[in-house]
Amino acid sequence: MSAPFHTNFTRVLDLLADRSVAPLPQDQEQELRTLIDSLPTDQRTVAFMERDRLERAAAETLAMFMQADRPAAISPGLRDRLIASGMAELAGTADQDSGSMPRSGTDSSLPSSRTYALAAFTGWLAAAAALVFAFVLYQSRPTAPSTLDRPSVVSVFESRAALLDDPDTVVATWSPGPDPAGSGVTGDVAWNPTTQTGYLRFSGLAENDPARFQYQLWIFDKGRQTDKPVLEQFPVDGGVFDITTAARDPSTGDVIVPITPKLPVRDVAAFAVTSEKPGGVVVTTRENLLLLAPVGG
């Protein structure tokens, strides 16, 4: 009958899983080696088998990315970790302890757990680094212009279309404000009070330099009871945005921007766009009021 699993076994598997994606920080690498040394021989063997399975899965996943006609999207964080892993290994810095370590299986006797672990880690890094580097080169290769938008862009257009199909959604048209930068700009605002979501659409709004200024949306809420007329009240911050990085409809050139209200909006009266310092402001002076979109006339 086999012994019960050591209390460190689960932590070893967790670290091995992380290790299959990218090199561990130095403190976790040392922790893993120490924990492996603490395992009974049979459980150490199981851990190495699990390590091999994770390494194969990582290699197969990278190979899938490289072989796809249109590589699957991966998160920026994971992509950065993969790139760092590959470049570190190619630079010879991923595991400074490796030296000329023996490979698994070069001796019929079971090597010490420390030697076995180090050899195992170095072996997968060499293979994974080549795959990662090839993957980065593949992703960076020149490609012919595509009529498809980025997945995030497609999602914006699809989400806006779905919002417009909702009977609760209200649509307000932009009118130019006192600032001449709003002259000639057209478009509208789609807002759903139930879901508290919405989208801005612009045509003709000039691209901004985010280092100099950003556009900021304001939402006037007549559900906030004050003794001032609604357009003289402090509006709700609807978020800052840049035309340079916004989703753009390739067929019309219209720019679509999601609304990100900082507070719940009870009963919207109007939307406004101003130009503000980078990062936006808490309270606008309305000196640079470009656009206004009253709701309900």
User: What pLDDT digit, counting tens, does each position of 28-78 carry?
Assistant: 888 888 888 888 887 878 777 777 777 676 666 655 555 554 444 555 555
| pLDDT of residue 128 exceeding 70 | no
| pLDDT of residue 280 exceeding 90 | yes
Instruction: Spell out the domain ranges in the chain.
Output: 9-140, 151-294
pTM of the entire structure? 0.49
Asked which of 33-47, 89-103, 161-175, 208-222 is least confident by mean pLDDT, the reply is 89-103
Q: Specify the CATH number for 151-294; select among 2.50.20, 2.60.120, 2.60.40, 3.40.50.
A: 2.60.40
Asked which of 75-84, 146-155, 275-284 is least confident by mean pLDDT, the reply is 146-155
**C-alpha span between 279 and 239 (Å, rounded):** 9
Q: Do the beta carbons of residue 278 and residue 213 sit within 8 Å?
A: yes
Closest CA to 135 of 231, 37, 35, 67: 67
Better-scored residue on pLDDT, 285 or 84: 285
HEC string for 30-66: HHHHHHHHHCCHHHHHHHHHHHHHHHHHHHHHHHHHH
Start-to-end C-alpha separation, the chain: 80
**C-alpha span between 136 and 133 (Å, rounded):** 5
Please write the tens of the pLDDT for every residue from 204-249: 999 999 999 999 999 999 887 666 776 778 899 999 999 999 999 8
